[in-house]
């Protein structure tokens, strides 16, 4: 390997109170929360839109509610409110969501289905950021950090306008990959314990026809009705179960890592069909990623061919949307002051410094939170070890795979974003390090901003 020494360069400095790195699932909420708390807030997002994996990979937003339907006698509770719910409310106003529709079959997995229109989500989230006066920098990447001992002084941002230094008091890493934490020297590992995925939107199909196909073959496992193309009581979620003899569609689909769960907000459209692939190394390995991108593109086309071939009435299916690049379920796992364990989750553990509560587990009904209840996500679970002014949120926290299968889900990431964004702003405005922030002050602000803390 040959090397080249890059020459040092003078770059312009921009000053903010708070910088949020990554405008995805958690980052959008973190930036709105920070700006509304009164901090001059910059949001740095590498793509030309906001939303992250919510608009690129997922099928429905899990979950704003507890799993009440699986536990007869347990009260239905909306356990995530605040800014995440505001996004859904705004989407409802423009026909961009099914709403929180009650699952009619498969409700021991999630009692509701909240599906979204991916394109409206991008627009609505950008407009909400604008309304909150967040300084949004799109097509801009976090590429380095300027440290002052254990404190981040600024980050290096790269765009077609060149390299710039963004100085601030507090920083929140919402990049999913943990890029900012890694630049800042935080301790991390790369478990590579999930498949990566790409998802496609498929048109020229009929969810009713998919329903008839699964029903006829006794293979229906999830069923939900909600708002679709402006009409209530339409099918919005279906999933398939294994049957004997195996359905050729499911068997061939499994070979290309195809998920069979379908959600939709619009007629004649499957919003997400996911294709999975386990990587050799890690999603931060460029060469591995390049190879996997090709395989996933091939799988996408194969998936459409399977839909055309096996689902009667879907012979003219075609791809209308693909993820711009592969979607990860976990990149770097960042060391934080507290690590949420599986015991915490299944025992519905509560903490004295909670920023949110949550009631969904992706392995339900096999792993569930006790009695359809909720567990708390403590403030210290977001504090990046040994760094004084940096928070980590979303898929980069929680070590144990089975615990991560809960905390990594969209609505959890969004709630974490509100907690971290509010805390970062309070620290910046009061000149505090993240560990000096009085919890009573943070809690007061979260409750004022309609965060549900389990009372």
Residues that bind ligand FAD (CB under 6 A): 21-27, 44-47, 52-54, 57-62, 141-142, 174-177, 179, 197, 199, 274, 327-329, 394-395, 408-410, 413
Whichever of 238 and 327 has its CB closer to ligand FAD, that residue is 327
Whichever of 283 and 432 has its CB closer to ligand FAD, that residue is 283
CB 29 within 8 A of CB 83: yes
Report, in Å, the least distance between residue 137 CB and ligand FAD: 9
CA distance 386 to 224: 46
Whichever of 82 and 394 has its CB closer to ligand FAD, that residue is 394
Instruction: Name the phi and psi angles at 56, rounded to 5.
Output: -120, -25
Report, in Å, the least distance between residue 396 CB and ligand FAD: 6
Task: For residue 239, give both structure tokens.
Answer: 């999933």
The label of the residue with tokens 């990046």 reads 384
Helix (H, G, I), strand (E, B) or coil at 354: strand
CB 225 within 8 A of CB 236: yes
Whichever of 260 and 410 has its CB closer to ligand FAD, that residue is 410
Instruction: Name the phi and psi angles at 408, rounded to 5.
Output: -80, -10
How far lies 436's CA from each of 284, 397, 423, 430, 451, in Å?
33, 21, 11, 10, 22
Report, in Å, the least distance between residue 394 CB and ligand FAD: 2
Whichever of 46 and 421 has its CB closer to ligand FAD, that residue is 46
Strands of 174-322, DSSP E: 188-189, 196-203, 220-228, 231-240, 262-263, 269-277, 318-322
Whichever of 50 and 432 has its CB closer to ligand FAD, that residue is 50
Task: For residue 103, give both structure tokens.
Answer: 């699952």
Whichever of 304 and 432 has its CB closer to ligand FAD, that residue is 304
Report the 3 state secondary structure along 386-452. CCCCEEECHHHCCCCHHHHHHHCCHHHHHHHHHHHHHHHHHHHHHCCCHHHCCHHHHHHHHHHCCCC
Whichever of 228 and 432 has its CB closer to ligand FAD, that residue is 228
Report, in Å, the least distance between residue 16 CB and ligand FAD: 15
82: left (phi over 0), alpha (psi -120 to 50) or beta: left
Whichever of 338 and 432 has its CB closer to ligand FAD, that residue is 338
Q: Give residue number: closest CB to ligand FAD.
A: 24
Report, in Å, the least distance between residue 317 CB and ligand FAD: 20
Number of C-beta neighbours around residue 301 at 10 A: 13
Report, in Å, the least distance between residue 432 CB and ligand FAD: 25
How far lies 140's CA from each of 23, 24, 310, 432, 433, in Å?
10, 13, 43, 28, 27
Task: For residue 111, give both structure tokens.
Answer: 């009692």
Report, in Å, the least distance between residue 272 CB and ligand FAD: 7
Whichever of 179 and 335 has its CB closer to ligand FAD, that residue is 179
Whichever of 63 and 389 has its CB closer to ligand FAD, that residue is 63
Report, in Å, the least distance between residue 275 CB and ligand FAD: 9
DSSP 26-87: HHHHHHHHHHHTT--EEEE-SSSSS-THHHHT-SS---SB--GGGSTTPPP-B---HHHHHH
Helix (H, G, I), strand (E, B) or coil at 455: coil
Report, in Å, the least distance between residue 125 CB and ligand FAD: 10
Report, in Å, the least distance between residue 88 CB and ligand FAD: 13
Whichever of 46 and 432 has its CB closer to ligand FAD, that residue is 46
Report, in Å, the least distance between residue 87 CB and ligand FAD: 13
CA distance 249 to 239: 13
Estimate to the nearest angstrom the gap between the alpha carbon of 337 and the chain centroid. Answer: 22
The label of the residue with tokens 């009061």 reads 430
Report, in Å, the least distance between residue 43 CB and ligand FAD: 9
């Amino acid at each position: 390997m040959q090397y080249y020494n890059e020459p040092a360069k003078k770059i312009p400095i921009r000053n903010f109170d708070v910088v949020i790195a990554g405008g995805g699932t958690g980052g959008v909420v973190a930036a709105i929360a920070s700006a509304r708390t009164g901090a001059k807030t910059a949001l740095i997002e590498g793509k030309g839109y906001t939303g992250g994996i919510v608009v690129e990979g997922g099928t429905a937003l899990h979950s704003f509610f507890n799993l009440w339907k699986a536990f007869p006698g347990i009260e239905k509770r909306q356990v995530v409110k605040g800014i995440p719910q505001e996004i859904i409310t705004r989407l409802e106003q423009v026909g961009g969501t099914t709403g929180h529709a009650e699952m009619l079959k498969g409700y021991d997995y999630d009692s509701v289905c909240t599906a979204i229109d991916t394109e409206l989500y991008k627009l609505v989230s950008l407009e909400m950021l604008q309304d909150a006066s967040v300084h949004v920098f799109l097509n801009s990447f976090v590429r380095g950090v300027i440290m002052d001992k254990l404190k981040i002084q600024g980050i290096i941002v790269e765009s077609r306008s060149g390299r710039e230094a963004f100085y601030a008091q507090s920083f929140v890493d919402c990049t999913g990959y943990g890029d900012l934490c890694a630049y800042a020297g935080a301790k991390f590992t790369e478990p590579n314990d999930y498949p990566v995925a790409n998802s496609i939107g498929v048109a020229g199909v009929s969810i009713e026809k998919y329903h008839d196909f699964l029903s006829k073959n006794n293979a229906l496992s999830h069923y939900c009705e909600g708002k679709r193309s402006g009409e209530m009581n339409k099918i919005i979620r279906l999933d398939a179960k294994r049957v004997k003899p195996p359905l050729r569609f499911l068997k061939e689909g499994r070979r290309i890592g195809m998920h069979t769960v379908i959600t939709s907000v619009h007629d004649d459209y499957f919003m997400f069909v996911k294709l999975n692939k386990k990587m050799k190394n890690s999603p931060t390995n460029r060469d591995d990623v390049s190879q996997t991108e090709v395989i996933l593109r091939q799988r996408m086309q194969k998936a459409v061919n399977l839909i055309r071939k096996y689902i009667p009435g879907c012979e003219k299916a075609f791809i209308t949307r693909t993820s711009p690049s592969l979607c990860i379920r976990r990149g770097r796992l960042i060391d934080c002051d507290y690590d949420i364990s599986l015991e915490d989750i299944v025992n519905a553990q509560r903490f004295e410094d909670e920023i949110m509560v949550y009631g969904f587990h992706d392995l339900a009904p096999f792993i569930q939170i006790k009695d359809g209840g909720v567990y708390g996500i403590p403030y210290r679970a977001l504090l990046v070890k040994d760094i004084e002014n940096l928070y980590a949120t979303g898929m980069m926290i929680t070590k144990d795979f089975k615990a991560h299968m809960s905390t990594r889900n969209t609505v959890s990431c969004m709630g974490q974003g509100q907690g971290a964004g509010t805390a970062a702003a309070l620290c910046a405005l009061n000149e505090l390090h993240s560990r000096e922030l009085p919890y009573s002050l943070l809690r007061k602000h979260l409750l004022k901003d309609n965060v549900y803390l389990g009372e």
